[in-house]
């Protein structure tokens, strides 16, 4: 069966992601044996039951189903179908290991502890890149001034991720402002190249970023480490309704299963149905 626009839909993803998603999508259509325009909600439910019967992990089920649902979103966007019937089908809850997450108040406490001097402006910019752009600590370290590029939609950032994989993503406005402030403070606003973040001996180190985070999180009664800002980015994006595959691309994950592990919303007491029960 020739699947309309499949290659175009997958073209935005990395090679490994394209290969996995294509396999998921083709498996679905081989099982339901129908054209995209003929797929109903019942087909989606039957496929979900098929995955459960095959004893796949909940994260594997989420990845497969989300990749297929994303393809149907694409078909709607090009007017090939009128509606994505797979939307609204509830997926099995992913079991997470108990983790500590940064709350909004935690983040505010940390940011309020950062001074407005040269090192403080650097530290704020580094934390913002993890918090608002989802960068890894190693990715922040490896950034150069020339990693920030202009585009039609505003500044973008070229990130060298794991396995030397390059991804280019829009730069969050908070990051743009913080980086400009830091470069202006250090007299490097007009420079075209060189390490973006500097310590006393040149490019910042992994240990320096760890110490920075520990210093500003002393007021919190929890162990805070740099990766928690990246986790906060993912959970905020998912809670805001961003498609999990888009979050995956932003974070540079090979598999959407990894991204799904950052969905903290199901553990949030504030979102509990308890608070929505009316008084009798």
Phi/psi zone of residue 55: left (φ > 0), alpha (ψ -120 to 50 degrees), beta?
Answer: left
Listed in sequence order, the DSSP H helices in 186-274 are 206-216, 227-239, 244-251, 256-260
pLDDT tens digits along 196-222: 999 998 999 999 999 999 999 999 988
- State the number of CA atoms in the 13 A half-sphere of 132 facing the CB: 18
Mean pLDDT of 55-76: 88
Buried b (16+ CB within 10 A) or exposed e, 32-43: beeebeebeeeb
CA distance 136 to 129: 9
Q: Which domains does the chain have, with CATH numbers?
A: 6-77 (1.10.150), 104-260 (1.10.443.10)
103-107, 214-218, 251-255, 275-279: least confident range: 275-279
Between residues 243 and 131, which one has the greater pLDDT? 131
Between residues 82 and 250, which one has the greater pLDDT? 82
CA distance 186 to 200: 13
Single pTM value for the model: 0.60
Q: 149 — phi, psi (to 5°)?
A: -125, 150
C-alpha distances in angstroms, 34 versus 3, 31, 165? Answer: 11, 9, 37
pLDDT tens digits along 38-54: 999 999 999 999 998 98
């Amino acid at each position: 069966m020739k699947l309309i626009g499949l290659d175009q839909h997958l073209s935005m993803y990395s090679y490994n992601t394209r290969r996995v998603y294509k396999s998921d999508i083709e498996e679905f259509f081989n099982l339901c044996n129908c054209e995209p325009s003929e797929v109903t909600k019942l087909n989606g439910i039957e496929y979900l039951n098929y995955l459960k019967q095959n004893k796949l992990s909940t994260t594997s089920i989420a990845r497969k189903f989300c990749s297929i649902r994303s393809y149907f979103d694409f078909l709607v966007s090009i007017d090939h179908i009128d509606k994505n019937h797979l939307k609204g089908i509830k997926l099995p809850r992913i079991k997470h290991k108990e983790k500590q997450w940064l709350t909004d108040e935690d983040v505010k406490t940390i940011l309020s502890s950062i001074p407005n001097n040269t090192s403080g402006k650097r530290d704020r910019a580094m934390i913002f890149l993890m918090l608002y752009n989802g960068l890894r600590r190693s990715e922040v370290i490896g950034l150069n001034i020339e990693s920030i590029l202009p585009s039609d939609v505003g500044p973008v950032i070229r990130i060298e991720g794991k396995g030397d994989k390059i991804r280019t993503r829009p730069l969050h406005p908070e990051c743009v402002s913080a980086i400009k402030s830091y470069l202006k403070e250090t007299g490097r606003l007009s420079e075209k190249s060189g390490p973006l973040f500097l310590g006393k001996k040149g490019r910042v180190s992994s240990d320096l970023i760890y110490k920075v985070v520990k210093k500003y999180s002393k007021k919190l009664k929890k162990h805070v480490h740099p990766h928690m800002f990246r986790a906060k980015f993912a959970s905020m994006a998912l809670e805001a309704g961003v498609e999990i595959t888009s979050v995956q691309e932003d974070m540079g994950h090979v598999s959407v299963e990894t991204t799904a592990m950052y969905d903290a919303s199901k553990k949030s007491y504030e979102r509990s149905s308890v608070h929505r029960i009316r008084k009798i």
